[in-house]
Structure 1
């Protein structure tokens, strides 16, 4: 269940759901529709015939959708048809863990995909209260986390009862040697929604500093309802979402993938860029530092000036770009694939269910 069926969570849930069903499990998906949720026809195509995709919960407000989703989950749990409830994203985690189980042997598992108390767009009071709530609930049910640094946060700050790391990523078969396709001018690419979390003003600052060396392209404008001052007078071309084939072409033509986000869980955009052999420049936050090998497949930066200098170094040094392209694909094949996510997650479920009996 998730209230956040958009962006990377769509990719994660479709990957784990499809692979679990291929391994013999019965999988059903409950979700709420929000602005960036793909059309139901697209979702059904991504999930295929084996996964039961329930009709989306809709409503005018986020609060209405959330409580309707909770009621639907409660009805499903009371039916006694399920052995495991896997909750994705922080609100689904909070709502789902407050539903009383009819069967005590039903396992509840929570994956935050980025802890909400790390969000820099929230007040300190809000973040403190959210962390306190997460700490209390972490004693109730196991956590499945998708980055090593997220595991460290859960251990140090939440003192979680049970937790495990589950590798997310891209299918190994999708990582193929694609020759870099030179274009007339070098390109720096960003993939993600134009929202506060993704720090578009940082991307714009790098573009202003280095626009004489490359074109700067941001893919993921969605409905285009974002503050225009984030890009201001910067030379950034903002595009809507593109088809997967077109995105692969854009990545093949890009010299650098610049990902200056403020917080993450584990970014599939970074993983995708690495799998396509694009050197990455990113911020030193949870998830980002797990996807990149600093100095080998890209650069993990602690400040805005470092983002500019790392991008400049890659743009001005073609030999370094070539070395990092090759290293990025090797790293992706070795550490950033999700081929085992179905069987690995089912094994975790079974282990925790057996331990509770």
Structure 2
């Protein structure tokens, strides 16, 4: 049977914030792990149910990378040294086009070795990454691309003139033992703790980049507070030192503390101005019982099941559409019952990952 190797540009477990590294952490903490080896730099701690192939990160290797201008060569060398003759392997690469290109270049010199490998590329963006002229080698080189949504596959299919590899879809999944909806009583306790028991709390949570749309929401907010007094906006992830009426800036919050902010709030705002691959915070909010209002860009409509799980803003660059959607929510929120979400969980992600691995095993002997 083929061995499964994950090539990670981050040491795993990874102790900083990251969506795909968190999902792999959930995976390797489960019982039914099908990945045999991780190729990465030495982590602070190791998962106990997987082998490691350590990529050296010494002064010598750093100098070699810089002088030879081959930043991924030490990963390629570590991987190829791990591969044994007459054995087959499934190679998982996550979002690292540079490593894929370096591996492709090395395997041109070892064509027989390529027959031992089934290469899966996991892509956590949404739109096509490579232009048509440059894409041909990539899609002829990999065997399968795994994307976050069916919509992303459609974007690739419609853009590229040559697309010879297989595709699979694996939705993101979160730990719903941390992110879950509270009872009315428990939610009221949290609201009292934060002195918002008589207010409707809106939440924005992201890194503070222009494409995340915070400035849009702040402009919307200035209009809303003219008409609505019992509302408050919580901003998590932005370090801005601004004083805005009924807006609280919390800065960066540790991952383990995030559920309380979702569970205290009532409505989650996801005003992305780019084609998001999926939106982890969106599903964290959904599982925490928030009503969600989000830009209809990228994979977001699929995540919200095309409006079944929230309101989609078709023209997110227009302030008026956000104001209308928020006011519609405020007018009907008393009748809102958070749906029971049985998708987008870590269990579903693990099940999907293992299904993709098992399916690929039949394609290489």
Shorter-normalised TM range: 0.7 to 0.9
Counterpart of 1:68 in structure 2 is 71
Once the two structures are superposed, what CA deviation does each residue of 1:45-81 show, in whole Å capped at 9, x if it has no partner?
A: xx74335675796999xx96x9434432332233216
Q: 2:48 and 2:167 mapped to 1: Cα distance?
A: 31
Distance in structure 2 (CA, Å) of the matches to 1:260 and 1:57: 39
1:337 aligns with 2:345: yes
- State whether structure 2 residue 33 is matched by structure 1 residue 23: yes
Partner of 1:155: 157
1:201 aligns with 2:215: yes
Contact 2:27–2:350, Cα closer than 8 Å, also in 1? yes
* Correspondence 1:106 to 2:117: yes
The SS at the match of 2:346 is: coil
- Cα shift at 1:168: 2.3
> When you count helix as a share of all residues, which structure comes out higher?
1
Tell me the CA shift for residue 280 of structure 1: 0.8
Structure 1 residue ranges without an equivalent (≥5): 33-39, 119-128
Question: Do 1:3 and 1:89's aligned partners in 2 also have CA atoms closer than 8 Å?
Answer: no
TM-score scaled by length of structure 1: 0.74
1:116 Cα deviation from its structure 2 partner: 5.7
Match of 2:300 in 1: 288
C-alpha spacing 1:165/1:349, structure 2 compared with 1 (3 Å): same
Separation in structure 2 between the aligned mates of residue 282 and residue 233 of structure 1, nearest angstrom? 23
CA distance in 2, matches of 1:211, 1:86: 49
TM-score, length-scaled by structure 2:
0.73
Q: Does 1:168 align with 2:169?
A: no
Distance 1:78 1:289, change over 3 A: same
Cα distance change, pair 14–279 in 1 and its aligned pair in 2 (3 A): same
- Asked if 2 retains the 8 angstrom alpha-carbon contact of 1:145 and 1:166, the reply is yes
Q: What is the distance in 2 between the residues matched to 1:287 and 1:111?
A: 15
Matches of 1:85 and 1:241, distance apart in 2: 35
Determine which of 80, 85, 104 is the counterpart of 2:91: 85
Once the two structures are superposed, the pairs formed by residues 40-51 of structure 1 within 5 Å of their partners are: 44=45, 48-51=47-50
Q: Does structure 1 conserve the Cα–Cα contact (< 8 Å) formed by 2:28 and 2:47? A: no
| 1:8 Cα deviation from its structure 2 partner | 1.8
- CA displacement, residues 243-285 of structure 1 (integer Å, 9 cap, x when unaligned): 3453111111112110111221111111111111111111111
Q: Number of residue pairs matched? A: 319
Report if the CA contact (8 A) 2:127-2:152 is conserved: no
Deviations 1:123-147 (A, max 9, x none): xxxxxx6354345422332101121
Change (3 A) 1:136 1:337: same
Q: Could you say what secondary structure the match of 1:68 adopts?
A: coil
Secondary structure at 1:100's aligned position in 2?
Answer: helix
Which of 9, 32, 56 does residue 20 from structure 2 map onto?
9
What CA distance in whole angstroms lies between the structure 2 residues aligned with 1:233 and 1:176?
30
| Equivalent position SS for 2:322 | helix
